[in-house]
């Protein structure tokens, strides 16, 4: 089945009543833009973010870890806002990074990511 512009609907993700393709390019940075994403954190941060995305139903299509930021191409379902999805990813990954990788057991004050993000819609 073909739509306008010759695009095929068969390759689009689908929900009960919707076929969708919502891809976003997201860039997140650590607090104070510290270069902490290499070394022992490099392997683990990627795993943590993949797991958090899977938990929320977000497809991590592609990701690149740089010394001071992360580029991600995410496919976010239309029922979730981009701000909510990014807030969830940043919040849950910060807690997991502190607890699993850095070994801190505090309940509050587990900041890892800056409050800023850059996002752009793809397609």
Question: DSSP assignment of 32-96, as one string?
Answer: GG-S-SSTHHHHHHHHHHHHHHHHHT-EEEEEEE-SS-EEEEEE--TTS-HHHHHHHHHHHHHHH
Burial of 49 (0-12, 13-18, 19+ CB in 10 A): buried
pLDDT in tens, 29-48: 888 777 777 777 777 888 99
Q: Residue 55: its pLDDT value, please? A: 93
Polymer length in residues for the chain: 123
Segments of the chain with pLDDT less than 50: 1
pLDDT at 1: 47
- pTM score over 0.85: no
At residue 4, the pLDDT reads 55
Q: What angle do CA 68, 94, 45 make, to 5 degrees?
A: 55
pLDDT of 15 reads: 66
């Amino acid at each position: 089945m073909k739509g306008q512009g010759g695009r095929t609907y068969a390759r689009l993700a689908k929900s009960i009543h919707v076929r969708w393709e919502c891809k976003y390019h997201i860039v997140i940075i650590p607090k104070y833009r510290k270069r902490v994403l290499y070394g022992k954190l490099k392997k683990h941060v990627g795993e943590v973010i993949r797991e958090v995305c899977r938990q929320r139903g977000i497809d991590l299509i592609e990701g690149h870890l740089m010394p001071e930021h992360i580029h991600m191409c995410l496919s976010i379902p239309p029922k979730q806002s981009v701000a909510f999805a990014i807030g969830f990813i940043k919040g849950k990954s910060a807690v997991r990074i502190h607890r699993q990788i850095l070994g801190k057991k505090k309940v509050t004050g587990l900041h890892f990511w800056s409050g800023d993000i850059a996002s752009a819609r793809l397609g």
